[in-house]
Amino acid sequence: MDFSLTEAERRTLLETARRSIAARFEGTRLPLPAATPALGTPCGAFVTLKIDGRLRGCIGHITAAAPLLETVRDVALSSAFDDPRFPPLALDELARVAIEISVLSPFRRTRDPAEIRVGTHGILVRRGGRSGLLLPQVATEQGWGREEFLVHTCRKAGLPDDAWRDPDTAIEIFSAVVFGEEG
């Protein structure tokens, strides 16, 4: 992936995510800071929220539809308030939330699952109108090998565990710049 972020840009993205969520509680919308060239580059991104190490929300955009700074603001709000797996974040939870941001590389289709490097690649599987995506860090966090990673990505898509073996299932890989707050 030929994309990198400086420490200052990473801090700007993390602050934008947190301040956007806080602004929603105040009934306002955060004005975005000036964007560096990297922060103005259209990129897909995910924002993951955790409390005490447990998932509290995770939403992202896989396509590069808007500048990175806007994407992070928007998906931070979606992660906090629109993830269907969780109730909307409560104000008293905000101080305990740790934010992690994953900036995605372009996706590349692979026909050889052996190309997948656990801890480096994320996976997107698609078949018959269904799709599932897992970020690169998920396999490492869960202690999965390549095959388990593929199985869990298929499950997320609502496909059979072995759907990744079917030639009609598209497997795409990507990498990510992943950074976040402690917590």
- What are the pLDDT digits (tens) for 48-65? 999 999 999 999 998 878
The pLDDT value recorded for residue 106 is 84
Residues of the chain with pLDDT > 90, as a percent, come to 84
Q: Does the pLDDT value for residue 140 go beyond 70?
A: yes
State whether residue 50 is helix, strand or coil.
Answer: strand
Asked if the model's pLDDT at residue 2 lies above 90, the reply is no
C-beta atoms surrounding 117 within 10 Å: 12
Q: Examine the pLDDT at 83 and tell me if it is beyond 90.
A: yes
Has residue 66 got a pLDDT over 70?
yes
Q: Cα(97)–Cα(72) distance, rounded to whole angstroms?
A: 16
Q: Is 109 helix (H, G, I), strand (E, B) or coil?
A: strand
Tell me the pLDDT band of 87, cut-offs 50, 70 and 90. Answer: very high
Scanning 105-179, the segments in alpha helix (DSSP H) are 136-142, 146-156
38 alpha-carbon distance from chain centroid: 18
pTM: 0.84
